[in-house]
Structure 1
Amino acid sequence: MGNFDGKVVYITGIARGQGRNHALRFAREGASIIGLDIAGPIAEHTTYPPATREDLDETVRLVEEAGGKILARQGDVRDLAFQQQLVADGVAQFGGLDFVVVNAGVLTWALTWEMTEEQFTDVIDINLVGAWKTLRAALPVMIEGGNGGSVVVVSSVAGLKAMPVQASYSASKYGLTGLAQTLAKEAAPYQIRVNSLHPYAVNTLMGVGDTSAVEAFVDPKFSRYFPSMMDHNPIADPDEISDAILYLCSDSAKSITGVQFPVDMGHSKV
């Protein structure tokens, strides 16, 4: 018996890293998975390896190997019609929609006054507008289902404490924090809880495989802004983020909504 037997979760950005881990953890607890990932290059200005179609296929294989059911498609969160169709097909296949994990995101690095137009608009379009499109596709279905549910919007510590060399990323993540707050108030009458999650560094290719991140962290002009309180634990494991998400979706968190939930080694307080 799993904690989420018979439940259905929609997760964006599932090809690898945190998204894949969330999908696996939900599947092991009995949930069926609806998921998408662009599974390809996102923008020329990112400085970490993009996910691939093979990564997405591996997520499907791992979920099914764990005994889970999954409907996963290659697509872009910026495409509202695609997301609406995916959600509709997933609900038809699995019988409903209980949870949404808004996980897909992109990161770029540059000084605010040196960013290209693409570095700013791509990040806002994917991280913030894409997140709204995910919610636009999912919330009407959840409300119509009438069974309540839980939404976790994955923001960042950069949505609580602005970070240097990350103007578009910080702006997008602060935007997600506000979006989650608004939705929490709007969805409460339908017994849908909404919380934002705020990780710091996570052991994924986007988290530790980014050459520009390494440069920023050691740059003496900016390094003082990056430390956390926990030098002995500088990088979170994806399971720590999944633990928080599964908790926020569980009945143990039935009284928690509108919260900014940090998993940040105290970084936002430094």
Structure 2
Amino acid sequence: MGKLDGKVAFVTGAARGQGRSHAVHLAREGADVIAVDLCSQVDTVPYDLATPDDLAQTVAEVEALDRRIVATQADVRDGAAMKRAVDDGVAQLGRLDIVVANAGILSFSTAEEMPDEMWDDMIATNLSGQFKAVRPAIPHLKANDDGGAIVITSSTAGLRGIQNLAHYTAAKHGVVGLVKVLALELAPDKIRVNSVHPTNVNTDMIQNQSTYSNFRPDLDNPGKDEVQDTFASLNALPIPWVEPADVSEAILYLVSDAGRYVTGIQLPVDAGMVVK
């Protein structure tokens, strides 16, 4: 018997990385899944984003667990598209209990040199996109006698400042404010709202040349081996990054009955980065 038997979860950014991990973890515990991902490129993002094939792989992994999944290519920046994806998923799967607003992008620039387009893409995706994903889910969660749970992915950058990431840091701090307000507004309907705050996670978002070069500007074309010590130096625990599954386990706690009285919190999964 799974911790989420009979539940339905809506996961954004589900094609790969953390989003796929979250979708598969929740499915393993018995949840059916509504999955969305952009599956195309954003001009200001310096690494390859997920593809339709990536989303198809998520579908295959969820179905291999004998769970149902409704997957849609949709942009979290488009509120109407999010509403269609949520409403269609609920129509097919019968209900909605869990929202994991996870979709996000990363890029680097000093604030002084940052072009408007880079700032706008980041805020639109990592902050407004979280809101636009959560908003259409609220009526479906309110329809449940036992409420539901929302988790929004923030970052250690939502709890501290990180250089060359003014846009990302602003968006992730904004998520914290959004969570606190939603937790208050939705508590009467037994809907809990929390955020998770990972340190670097071992996904394509950090495992790429742009990120390596940002953290090791002293080297020409640094690789994974050259950045591990630098990443590890950011954390209190001597590790360079956590795995997507580590974040998924934290989310499972927050959305399951184990966390039934936990709302409005910021849960770091950060190897001690915030306290260092």
Contact 2:151 2:194 in 1 (8 A): yes
Q: Name the residue aligned to 1:42.
A: 42
Equivalents in 2 of 1:208, 1:224: separation in Å?
Answer: 11
Contact 2:39 2:51 in 1 (8 A): yes
* 2:236 partner letter: M
Q: Name the residue aligned to 1:212.
A: 210
* 1:248 partner letter: L
- Which structure 1 segments of 5+ residues have no match? none
Q: CA deviation at 1:4?
A: 0.7
Q: Name the residue aligned to 1:146.
A: 145
Q: Name the residue aligned to 1:93.
A: 92
Equivalents in 2 of 1:147, 1:79: separation in Å?
Answer: 29
Map Cα deviations across residues 207-248 of structure 1 (whole Å, 9 max, x no partner).
222x2322222347xx799711112x2210111000000010
Map Cα deviations across residues 179-200 of structure 1 (whole Å, 9 max, x no partner).
0011011111110111110001
Equivalents in 2 of 1:218, 1:250: separation in Å?
Answer: 40
Q: Report the count of equivalent residues.
A: 265
Map Cα deviations across residues 50-69 of structure 1 (whole Å, 9 max, x no partner).
11111111111111112111
Contact 1:163 1:225 in 2 (8 A): no
Equivalents in 2 of 1:224, 1:56: separation in Å?
Answer: 29
Q: Name the residue aligned to 2:271.
A: 265
TM-score by length of 2: 0.92
Q: 1:184/1:215 Cα in 2 relative to 1: closer, same or farther (>3 Å)? A: same
Q: Name the residue aligned to 1:120.
A: 119
Q: Name the residue aligned to 2:198.
A: 199
- Which structure 2 segments of 5+ residues have no match? 219-229
Q: Name the residue aligned to 1:134.
A: 133
Q: Report the more deviating stretch, 85-94 or 173-182.
A: 85-94
Contact 1:15 1:59 in 2 (8 A): yes
* 2:250 partner letter: A
Secondary structure of 2:271's counterpart equals coil
Contact 2:231 2:241 in 1 (8 A): no
* 1:246 partner letter: L
Equivalents in 2 of 1:262, 1:38: separation in Å?
Answer: 26
Give the aligned CA root-mean-square deviation in angstroms. 1.6
How do 1:160-179 and structure 2 match up within 5 A?
Answer: 160-179=159-178
TM-score by length of 1: 0.94
Q: Name the residue aligned to 1:238.
A: 244
Equivalents in 1 of 2:263, 2:231: separation in Å?
Answer: 33
Q: Report the more deviating stretch, 124-133 or 46-55.
A: 46-55
**Residue 10, structure 1, aligned to residue 10, structure 2:** yes
Q: Report the more deviating stretch, 145-154 or 71-80.
A: 145-154
Secondary structure of 1:268's counterpart equals coil
